[in-house]
Amino acid sequence: MTRHRPHIVPSVLSADFGNLVHDVRTVQRAGAKSVQIDVMDGHFVPNITVGPIVVAALRKQTSIFLDVHLMIEKPWKYLDAFAKAGADLLTVHWEACPRPRQVVRHIKNLGLKAGVAIRPKTSERVLFSLLPEIDLALVMTVEPGFGGQAFMPRMLSKVQALKRRIRLQGHPCEIQVDGGINLKTAPLAAEAGATSLVAGSAVYGAPDAAEAFKKLQRSVDLPVDAQVEYPLKLR
Ligand code: DX5
């Protein structure tokens, strides 16, 4: 029986920013195929984190797939800078893009994988027409801005709806969930159809991040339908 193994994607938001390269290497050695870098501008979300310079520093020191989640206004202004810095995938928020299709096409033209994210209050239906062009649909299971928040189970109906739509139309598109993923909520998200689960505090908030990652990854090894290959490697 083929097994559906969603990938746990550690979010560095909860890592030690004084030892970021070390913390990324720790989860990579534990088997992580990618890490997520949460970019926040203090406008789209009430928090400020990092920019292309940190992506470039990680790119220089690590070989892991860099999944960059842009929680910023006017993300189209920064796509080239993040691509140049070495991002492998750029996810923009639908709510920040009046013309999401154009933004997605630009990301693809830069040679990167493209994702589009929706906040809790946004319906998954806004993504349906974009599915043929995107590599990843990100369903936020918390309000974007901070790690360590409680998982919003109601968001799983969006994952199920996207899974049905992707199945129906045969798009090779990841379904990623982000926010409040832990040993309890990860299996729920996987059963709903998520193929990629972002976890920050459940990994880096644990005494041993490598062990926490491995336990989380094992918790979503489910005997269901075929797994989607991830990360969609460019290199
Ligand atoms: C919210 C961030 C967080 C982060 C994961 O804006 O996007 O969801 O990646 O944080 P945890 O896993 O601690 O909820």
pLDDT for 3 beyond 60:
no
The model's confidence at residue 169, banded by pLDDT at 50, 70 and 90, is confident
pLDDT digits (tens, 9 = 90+) for 114-162: 999 999 999 999 999 999 999 999 999 999 999 999 999 999 999 999 9
CA-proximal residue: ligand 1, atom 9 (nearest): 11
User: What residues are annotated to the active site?
Assistant: 38, 178
Q: Is the backbone peptide bond immediately before 75 cis, with ω within 30 degrees of 0? A: no
Cα gap 145→46, rounded to integer Å: 6
Percent of the chain with pLDDT over 90: 90
How close is the Cα of 12 to the center of ligand 1, in Å? 9
- Pocket flag, ligand 1, residue 179 (CB < 6 Å): yes
pLDDT the model gives residue 4: 58
CA-proximal residue: ligand 1, atom 1 (nearest): 144
- Pocket flag, ligand 1, residue 177 (CB < 6 Å): no
How close is the Cα of 146 to the center of ligand 1, in Å? 6
pLDDT the model gives residue 68: 98
Strand order in the sheet with 89-93: 7-10, 196-199, 174-178, 136-140, 113-118, 89-93, 65-71, 34-40
Question: Beta 34-40 vs 65-71: how paired, if at all?
Answer: parallel
pTM above 0.85, yes or no: yes
- Pocket flag, ligand 1, residue 181 (CB < 6 Å): yes
E strand residue ranges, the chain? 7-10, 34-40, 65-71, 89-93, 113-118, 136-140, 174-178, 196-199
pLDDT the model gives residue 170: 83
